[in-house]
Chain A
Amino acid sequence: MLEIKNLKASINNRQILKGLNLSIKPGEVHAVMGPNGSGKSTLANVLSGKNGYEISGELNFEGKSLKKIPVEERAQKGIFLAFQYPLEIPGVNTNNFLKTSLNSIRKANGDKELDTLSFLKLVKEKSLELGIDEKILSRQLNVGFSGGEKKKNEILQMKILNPSFSILDETDSGLDIDALKIIANGVNSSRDKKKSFLVITHYQRLLDYIKPDFVHILSDGKIVKTGCSELAEELEKTGYKNFN
């Protein structure tokens, strides 16, 4: 599904990713852990197609290079990024935005656009499944949302847009245990043979709820170690100092 080879990325002449290799197959869940400043968010941004980075190396999604594909087309192809800091967009109703978003993705894939009624039905179903109060969707997008509500809203968006590859950028940061379970449940209930996830986190705690197939340690722009979920537990005990 995703093939990254020798990926280098720099912004404002500062190199952040320094030759990163990563391969994710359909159905797999990969966790990326790493100290502050190791390049985790840059990896998420580069995958989503954020402007401003200078990139070299290979970046292939479903067999095709992503390098020239703009943000919105990547989303239409099934790449989803749950933001570390979801933005507040005043005046924009969350439901209206999500409907526009879902329909632009459906349209790009040759699917019929959903009318308001079927859209609201879908929203109801997904929020019920996640245990999220759908009332937040009639509010302005993320405006005045608590930290937890913002993150839950990201996961609800993920459920509704139904992407094939989801990146969760520190979605667990700042969450209480109940919210953490909702987030984990959002991922677990979506897991199937075709969908893959890249879960970026600081804490092993999230991985108690989302069992990754692989754990990678990112340090100074490179993946320095790959293992299974025990690696996260080891990291919890020893810290990053042994992995530089």
Chain B
Amino acid sequence: MPENINIDANQIDKINKITLEEKEFRIKNLELFKAAGFPNKRLEDWKFSDFKNIVDTNFKILDTNKVTTISKKIDLLKDFEHNYIFLINGNLHSSNFDYEKKEKIKVNSYNSSSNYKISDNPMVCLNHALAENGYLLEIGKNYKFKKILVVYNLFTKNLENKILNIKNKIKLNENSELHVMDYTINESKFINNTYEEVILEKDSKFKNINIQHNKSNGFFHKFLKNKLSLNSSYSNLIFSSGLKFNKLDIECDLIEKNSNCNILSALFLKKDEHQEIKTRINHLAPNCKSFQSVKNVLSPYSKGIFQGKIYVKDVAQKTDAYQLSKALLINDDAEFNSKPELEIYADDVKCSHGSTSGSVDENSLYYLMSRGLTRADATKLLIKGFLNDVVEFIKNPSIKKFIENKLEENINGY
């Protein structure tokens, strides 16, 4: 049991309306977490992110007690038209689907913790034990969203020194389509531990953009479990710089033929920011495609990590899997770790991976500066150029502009 953390097992008793089975599952997971503690670098999956050490260094006390919910108004983004779900500390506060056919959309609070597998990730165990907040979103058959859905994720000031466990579930039924932007606004120094499931039925299409509203002292861990059925498609664009610690652990199961999965990131990490993207793409059926491109720009005293695994099951013939990680280090005080892994049991597949990390190219800087640009401006231009191709994946011009501005804001502070 971690010394600095106070977890009260009675909390599980207080959770409303749970079956005996769920209660046992939660208690079992709590015991697992208590035995393991926060994950440290001795665990292979955490070798570059010693979370125990990070927690010990940054938190003197921690607890998982519930906070009183403060009702707040949100300032909606005005840059583009959108539907929204507004979450306060993970709890569903309000939603608006004025652009859509409401009968096709189901959105509810979600606090179930049953039918999940036992995980060897202690943070997932902790989540299974205590998650009480979250939302469930389900899109009806044959329904394609007209506008993007922004999920405003507000974390309030009274979360200081708390661990918040959130569980979300998104389900897209046959031939439906949804674009989501996760927009996080954080006011506290706390640990956010989220488990999110995305289930894509046949022919459905899901696109996700992740971005922070502001720089904050958040320590975030998110485990994403995605299941892709026949002909379905999943994309995740990650622009989530700005947290003190952020680990995204993404698992994609391509369970049926012709499904495809894209994971792209463009991150600009500033001083004392630590961000890890870990992926595991499981090709479990033939003719599936996966594409991963992770780009990191690292300021002095920042740390970036990419651990990417592609697993191809023996039956998954004609798999097309690609993975690339590129890091640009602004100087020697930045750190980037990359661990690509391929595990292939089928013989007719196309799998490739690459990883590069380097500093800003002096000759390119010289070229730009010979046209009158200062070193700082030339560097900014190169950084923007480096991250730009991820933004190009966004088709809607006003959303693209919004993301470009956000990135630029971030880079200009360099």
Report A's interface with B, CB cutoff 8 A.
Answer: 48-51, 70-72, 74-76, 80-81, 83, 86-87, 89-92, 97-98, 100-102, 104-105, 108, 140-141, 157, 161
Interface flag for B377 (CB, 8 Å):
yes
- Residues of B contacting A83 in the complex (Cβ-Cβ under 8 angstroms): 367, 370
Known: A87-B364, A87-B367, A97-B368. Contact between A104 and B374, CB under 8 A? yes
Q: In the complex, are the beta carbons of B372 and A92 less than 8 A apart?
A: no
- Residues of B contacting A49 in the complex (Cβ-Cβ under 8 angstroms): 370
* Chain B window 285-297, contacts with chain A (Cβ cutoff 8 Å), 1 for yes, 0 for no: 0000000000000
Q: In the complex, are the beta carbons of B384 and A91 less than 8 A apart?
A: yes
Q: In the complex, are the beta carbons of A81 and B370 less than 8 A apart?
A: yes
Can you list 17 residue pairs at the A/B interface with Cβ under 8 Å?
A: A71-B370, A72-B374, A75-B371, A80-B370, A81-B370, A83-B370, A91-B385, A91-B387, A92-B384, A100-B377, A101-B371, A102-B372, A104-B372, A104-B374, A105-B372, A108-B372, A140-B385
Supply 10 further A-B pairs (C-beta < 8 A) apart from A75-B372, A90-B386, A100-B377: A70-B369, A72-B375, A86-B367, A89-B368, A90-B389, A97-B368, A101-B371, A104-B377, A105-B371, A161-B372
- Residues of A contacting B363 in the complex (Cβ-Cβ under 8 angstroms): 87
The 3 A-B pairs at the shortest CB distance, nearest first, are namely A91-B385, A91-B388, A75-B372
Q: What is the chain A residue whose CB lies nearest that of B386?
A: A91
Contact of A72 among B364, B372, B384, B389 (CB under 8 A): B372
Alpha-carbon separation in the docked complex, A141 to B371 (Å): 13
Q: What is the chain A residue whose CB lies nearest that of B388?
A: A91
Q: What is the chain B residue whose CB lies nearest that of A48?
A: B370
Distance to closest chain B CB from A188 (angstroms): 22
Q: In the complex, are the beta carbons of B364 and A89 less than 8 A apart?
A: yes
Interface flag for B178 (CB, 8 Å):
no
Known: A51-B366, A83-B367, A100-B377. Contact between A89 and B372, CB under 8 A? no
* Chain B window 364-404, contacts with chain A (Cβ cutoff 8 Å), 1 for yes, 0 for no: 10111111111101100110111111000000000000000
- Residues of B contacting A100 in the complex (Cβ-Cβ under 8 angstroms): 373, 377, 381
Distance to closest chain B CB from A151 (angstroms): 14
Q: What is the chain A residue whose CB lies nearest that of B385?
A: A91
Residues of B in contact with A, size category: 20 to 34
Q: In the complex, are the beta carbons of A97 and B381 less than 8 A apart?
A: yes
Alpha-carbon separation in the docked complex, A132 to B35 (Å): 70
Q: In the complex, are the beta carbons of A157 and B385 less than 8 A apart?
A: no
Distance to closest chain B CB from A58 (angstroms): 22
Contact of A75 among B369, B385, B388, B389 (CB under 8 A): B369
Alpha-carbon separation in the docked complex, A51 to B366 (Å): 8
Contact of B382 among A92, A98, A101, A102 (CB under 8 A): A92
Known: A72-B375, A76-B372, A101-B372. Contact between A50 and B366, CB under 8 A? yes
Contact of A92 among B366, B374, B385 (CB under 8 A): B385
Q: In the complex, are the beta carbons of A71 and B384 less than 8 A apart?
A: no
Alpha-carbon separation in the docked complex, A51 to B375 (Å): 12
Q: In the complex, are the beta carbons of B371 and A89 less than 8 A apart?
A: no
Alpha-carbon separation in the docked complex, A114 to B404 (Å): 22
Alpha-carbon separation in the docked complex, A49 to B368 (Å): 12
- Residues of A contacting B367 in the complex (Cβ-Cβ under 8 angstroms): 83, 86-87, 89
Q: In the complex, are the beta carbons of B385 and A89 less than 8 A apart?
A: yes
- Residues of B contacting A98 in the complex (Cβ-Cβ under 8 angstroms): 371
> Which one of A49, A86, A100, A157 has the highest number of Cβ atoms from chain B below 10 Å of its Cβ?
A100
- Residues of B contacting A80 in the complex (Cβ-Cβ under 8 angstroms): 370
Contact of B381 among A48, A86, A92 (CB under 8 A): A92
Q: What is the chain B residue whose CB lies nearest that of A49?
A: B370
- Residues of A contacting B388 in the complex (Cβ-Cβ under 8 angstroms): 91-92
Alpha-carbon separation in the docked complex, A80 to B385 (Å): 23
Q: In the complex, are the beta carbons of A72 and B385 less than 8 A apart?
A: no
Alpha-carbon separation in the docked complex, A108 to B377 (Å): 14
Q: In the complex, are the beta carbons of B369 and A71 less than 8 A apart?
A: yes
